A and B are shown apart, each in its own frame.
Chain A
């Protein structure tokens, strides 16, 4: 089934096409939600909300850009709307936590970026996801999260330093690879 056929089927409220859409794009949507939401149950809830919005607002898709990109943007927005209510971006950062190297857990984190990101506070994790992985600029992040650009930059700086010191310290990195 081509993308255009999927779009047409969704517009016709065809349940079979909607199910196909869910199967095709569900994995990526869940992955995004897992990166932003700390626990799995909330990630699945955001996935459900994302597809509901996609099927309800399908008429708003105007064939500008890919259909996949449109769905993934909806997923990010759903997560941000949820996180914006509960996350305090200003008071999360503890400067001392950056200075002191944290001891890694006993299991290996090799290439387990999910667990690496889960070590970050929620605000820092969100900003790092948006900036480093999604590619948003600080102005866009500030607008989406309702914070200042300065707060966005400080959160990102914290996330970088923490990740580097925790997981990419040369000496520690050698030990982790084992």
Chain B
């Protein structure tokens, strides 16, 4: 028998395998179709459950958005209230700015009036003026007054002399202006020697002339001032001299204020009246 005949033999008789299945088998199939575990039911269940979940999410999202809108409502109103009055705020700000500017301008104007070299039209740098404003006065342990200004220069006031030391580099113009300002500032320190120093600049020295009044009699008197006597410290009394001006003018240049001892260390000062022949 050939292979082909064998195959044909079985093909022709395959119908003998066929057999109508019983109803019990259909019942089993029906049970499986009706159960929720079947894939068709599962897929539909998944679909409907997904729809329900989406609906819940949508409702939650809507509620959240409403809650947020309620929270934002007063803020928006406030914003609106601000927005209705913007021009006032702007105005106030502008006025402040303007006032500041006017202050600055007046300062500038003063500076310009005092210093004709720095008037408008010139290209010179601004403002050595603003540097020369003393901030605080301190007295050191040596009983000298130290005027601390802005870090550009330092002033030491001692009896008979005023020493101004500039810090940092000064241009020629700045040094000249410093000299001018210092001499103007201390113009009433009659008889004092003004010394102005700055690195890179020649030291400036000028004595302010003593005040002269014709035919004025000068009497001196010394008073002993017992101020704060401290027995413990055994401090010596301080003598202060007073000038009493009378009718007669006196050539004050003839008067010389000379300390008996070194002025720094001495506690006593006496004015000697000298008459120059």
CB distance from B27 to the nearest CB of A (A): 10
Question: Is B15 part of the binding interface, using a Cβ–Cβ cutoff of 8 Å?
Answer: yes
In the complex, what distance in Å separates the CA atom of A154 from the CA atom of B139? 122
| A92 on interface, CB distance cutoff 8 Å | no
Residues of B1-40 contacting chain A, CB below 8 A = 1, 3, 6-7, 9-11, 13-21, 25-26, 28-30, 32-33, 38-40
A136 to chain B, nearest CB (A): 12
A153 at the interface (CB under 8 A from B): no
Across-interface contacts of B15 in A (CB, < 8 A)? 31
Q: Is the interface of B mostly helix, strand, loop or mixed?
A: helix
Task: List the count of A-B residue pairs having beta carbons below 8 Å apart.
Answer: 82
The contact string, 1 if C-beta is below 8 Å from chain B, for chain A 1-37, is 0000000000001010011001100111111101100
Chain A residues positioned under 8 Å from B14 (CB to CB): 31, 35, 113, 133
Give chain B residues whose Cβ lies under 8 Å from the Cβ of A28: 18
A143 and B19 CA atoms in complex are apart in Å by 29
Given A56-B38, A132-B7, are A27 and B21 neighbors across the interface (CB < 8 Å)? yes
Residue contact A111 to B6, C-beta cutoff 8 Å: no
Q: Which residue of A lies closest to B44 (CB)?
A: A13
A94 within 8 A of B: no
Q: Which residues of A contact B10 (CB under 8 A)?
A: 113, 117, 128, 132-133
Across-interface contacts of B19 in A (CB, < 8 A)? 27, 30-31, 34
Q: State whether A48 and B3 are in contact (beta carbons under 8 Å apart), knowing that A27-B19, A56-B40 are contacts in the complex.
A: no
| CB-based contact A44/B17 at 8 Å | no
Q: Could you tell me if A48 and B30 are in contact, using CB atoms closer than 8 angstroms?
A: no
Instruction: Please name all residues of chain B whose beta carbon is closer than 8 Å to the beta carbon of A55 when the two chains form the complex.
Output: 29, 33, 40
- Assess the A56–B21 pair: CB atoms within 8 A: no
CB distance B25 to A168 under 8 Å?
Answer: no
Q: Which residue of A lies closest to B7 (CB)?
A: A132
* Contact in complex: A27, B6 (CB < 8 Å): no
* Interface of chain A: mostly helix, strand, loop or mixed: helix
Enumerate B27-76 residues with CB–CB distance to A below 8 Å.
28-30, 32-33, 38-40
Give per-residue flags for A55-86: 1 if the beta carbon is below 8 A from chain B beta carbons, else 0: 11000000000000000000000000000000
A26-B20 contact given A31-B15, A47-B25, A113-B13, CB 8 Å threshold: yes
- Cα A134 to Cα B146 in complex, Å, equals 121
- Name the distance in Å between A61's Cβ and chain B's nearest Cβ: 14
CA of A111 to CA of B12 in the docked complex: distance in angstroms?
10
Residues of A within 8 A of B25 (CB): 26, 44, 47-48
- Interface: A52 (CB within 8 A): yes
| Chain A residues in 8 Å Cβ range of B16 | 111-114
- Tell me, rounded to whole Å, the shortest Cβ–Cβ distance linking B34 to chain A: 9
Are A30 and B11 in contact (CB-based, < 8 A)?
A: no
- Across the interface, do A52 and B11 meet the contact criterion of CB distance under 8 Å? no
Enumerate chain B residues within 8 angstroms of A133, measured Cβ to Cβ.
7, 10-11, 14
Determine if A144 is an interface residue (Cβ-Cβ < 8 Å): no
Q: What is the minimal beta-carbon distance from A125 to any residue of chain B, in angstroms?
A: 11
Contact of A13 among B1, B17, B40 (CB under 8 A): B40
Alpha-carbon gap, A44 to B39, bound state (A): 21
Task: Please determine whether A52 and B33 come into contact, CB atoms closer than 8 angstroms.
Answer: yes
Q: How far is the CB of A129 from chain B (nearest CB, A)?
A: 9
Besides A23-B20, A34-B17, 13 more A-B contacts (Cβ < 8 Å) are A22-B21, A35-B14, A48-B25, A52-B32, A52-B33, A55-B40, A111-B16, A112-B16, A113-B13, A113-B14, A113-B16, A131-B7, A133-B10
**Which residues of A are interface residues toward B (Cβ below 8 A)?**
13, 15, 18-19, 22-23, 26-32, 34-35, 44, 47-48, 51-52, 55-56, 111-114, 117, 128, 131-133, 160, 163-164, 168
A–B Cβ pairs within 8 angstroms, 5 of them:
A27-B18, A48-B29, A113-B9, A114-B17, A133-B7
- 4 tightest A-B contacts by CB? A31-B17, A31-B18, A132-B7, A27-B18
Residues of chain B having any CB pair with chain A under 8 Å: 1, 3, 6-7, 9-11, 13-21, 25-26, 28-30, 32-33, 38-40
